[in-house]
């Protein structure tokens, strides 16, 4: 449990943004976290919990506080019945490795969420989702440590107020808790979800005749690898913006003006619009200025080709946001956490 000073940020965020943090420390248990938080002058400074750094944009060259990297490990079965296995994972476990562990043990529910970067502890933060599944579909509960009260609190599914890329931890409890562990309820009798996007096509292409969670996971891995830039090669944080929702009247007007607009019906008669399509229509796909750019295969992903600053990426995101507003009259919201 060492506290380092003036630590480079670059290896701690998938955007590969440089700069420094005044202090940096990692912790492997709530006891270690508690001791860190009691260490003067740390209680007075801003602190931020860090997972894999794959959904963060550091916009300042210097983080005047302490970055606390969550390294709480462990995967254990805590309960089991005829239908489900309840598996508790430490927040510092790598998400994809956890999903692979579930698949190896034939525990179903998370296979569509294969290959999402980051750690288990961040998975409830924005209710991660992909290919027709969100973690809320098999989330059971989590334990979170209150950074000021030093109390360990349990949150069940309803307590987290999950929404599309949302939870209480991004809203009313922002910055207040360190998530320590998350328990997922995984099924012994899988319900396969292959309806979304190109999964069925990919399964056919793979020559799969008998469906399994392993095959679905591999199909998702193949699709994701062909579409999304690998942060090890080009800095990025996945989708930079959320897909916005509009009401039926706004959608009808957009459809008339832009007959090819890509949209999906959601609850209450509303429509979710593909932000990537709108950004592409504004001419941004493949745009590059200095080392900041918009990915050439996925316009929803902003990229750092090497030495872009967080501020450059942020200013590019503002230009993208403004042009979508101007062309479509739709306001995009950033999905990435701006620090
Ligand atoms: P970090 O980036 O380290 O942190 C994100 C936020 O959560 C920060 O505000 C941080 O303070 C907070 N935080 C992290 N851990 C904790 C904790 N233990 N306790 C309290 N607060 C914490 N997301 C999707 O939903 N679906 C996708 O399909 C998807 N695809 C992606 C593809 C690529 C190539 C990339 C780079 C990202 C993608 N993402 C996707 C975004 C990202 O992978 C997820 O948001 C992931 O959950 C972030 O995990 P992390 O550990 O890296 O979090
Ligand atoms: N599209 C374009 N041009 C583009 C990008 C997309 O026309 O440059 C169109 C596609 O052709 C498609 C539609 O937009 O018709 C949707 O594209 P895609 O299937 O690639 O998904 P997305 O809406 O861009 C969302 C999530 C991803 C998630 C995928 C798969 C958000 C903000 N993003 O992307 O999540 O992996 O669906 O489920 O909801 C993330 O959150 O970081 C992330 C990568």
Which residues are identified as catalytic? 165, 239, 335
Phi-psi group of 127: left, alpha or beta (phi > 0 → left; psi -120 to 50 → alpha; rest → beta)? left
Question: What is the distance between the alpha carbons of residues 167 and 48, in angstroms, rounded to a whole number?
Answer: 17
**pTM value?**
0.97
The class of domain 4-70 in CATH terms is: alpha beta
Which ligand 1 atom lies nearest to the CA of residue 236? 36
For residue 303, how far is its CA from the centre of ligand 2 (angstroms)?
A: 15
For residue 228, how far is its CA from the centre of ligand 2 (angstroms)?
A: 9
Closest ligand by atom to 115 CA: 1
Terminal-residue alpha carbon distance, the chain: 24
For residue 208, how far is its CA from the centre of ligand 1 (angstroms)?
A: 31
Domain 75-187 maps to which CATH number in 1.10.10.10, 3.30.465.10, 3.30.230.70, 3.90.180.10? 3.30.465.10
Going from N- to C-terminal start, the domains of the chain cover 4-70, 75-187, 235-338
Q: What single string gives the DSSP state of each residue in 57-110?
A: E--SSEEEEEEEEE----EEEEEE-SSEEEEEEETTSBHHHHHHHHHHTT-BS-
The class of domain 235-338 in CATH terms is: alpha beta
Per-residue pLDDT tens, the chain, 339 aa: give them.
Answer: 789 999 999 999 999 999 999 999 999 999 999 999 988 777 889 999 999 999 999 999 999 999 999 999 999 999 999 999 999 999 999 999 999 999 999 999 999 999 999 999 999 999 999 999 999 999 999 999 999 999 999 999 999 999 999 999 999 999 999 999 999 999 999 999 999 879 999 999 999 999 999 999 999 999 999 999 999 999 999 999 999 999 999 999 999 999 999 999 998 999 999 999 999 999 999 999 999 999 999 999 999 999 999 999 999 999 999 999 999 999 999 999 999
Closest among 57, 66, 73 to 25, alpha carbons compared: 66
């Amino acid at each position: 449990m060492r506290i380092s000073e003036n630590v480079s940020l670059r290896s701690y965020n998938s955007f590969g943004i440089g700069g420094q943090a005044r202090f940096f420390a990692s912790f492997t248990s709530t006891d270690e976290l508690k001791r860190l938080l009691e260490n003067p002058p740390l209680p007075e400074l801003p602190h931020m919990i860090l997972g894999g750094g794959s959904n963060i944009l550091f916009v300042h060259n210097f983080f005047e506080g302490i970055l606390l990297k969550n390294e709480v490990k462990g995967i254990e079965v805590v309960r089991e019945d005829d239908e489900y296995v309840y598996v508790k994972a430490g927040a510092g476990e790598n998400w994809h490795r956890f999903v692979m562990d579930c698949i190896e043990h034939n525990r179903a529910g998370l296979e569509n969420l294969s290959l999402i970067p980051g750690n288990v502890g961040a998975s409830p933060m924005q209710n991660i989702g992909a290919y027709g599944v969100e973690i809320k579909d098999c989330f059971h509960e989590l334990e979170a440590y209150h950074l000021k009260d030093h109390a360990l609190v349990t949150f069940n599914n309803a307590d987290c107020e999950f929404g599309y890329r949302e939870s209480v931890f991004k809203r009313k409890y922002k910055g207040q808790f360190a998530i320590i562990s998350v328990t997922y309820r995984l099924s012994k009798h899988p319900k396969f979800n292959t309806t979304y996007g190109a999964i069925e096509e990919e399964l056919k292409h793979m020559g799969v005749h008998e469906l399994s969670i392993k095959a679905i996971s591999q199909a998702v891995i193949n699709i994701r690898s062909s579409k999304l830039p690998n942060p090890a090669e080009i800095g990025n944080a996945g989708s930079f913006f959320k897909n916005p929702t509009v009401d039926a009247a706004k959608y009808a007007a957009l459809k008339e003006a832009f007959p090819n607009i890509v949209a999906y019906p959601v609850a209450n008669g509303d429509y979710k619009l593909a932000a990537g399509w709108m950004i592409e229509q504004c001419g941004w796909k493949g745009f590059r200025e200095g080392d900041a750019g918009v990915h050439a295969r996925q316009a929803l992903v902003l990229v750092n080709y090497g030495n872009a600053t967080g501020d450059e990426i942020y200013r590019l995101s503002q230009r993208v946001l403004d042009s979508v507003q101007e062309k479509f009259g739709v306001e995009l919201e950033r999905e990435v956490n701006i620090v």
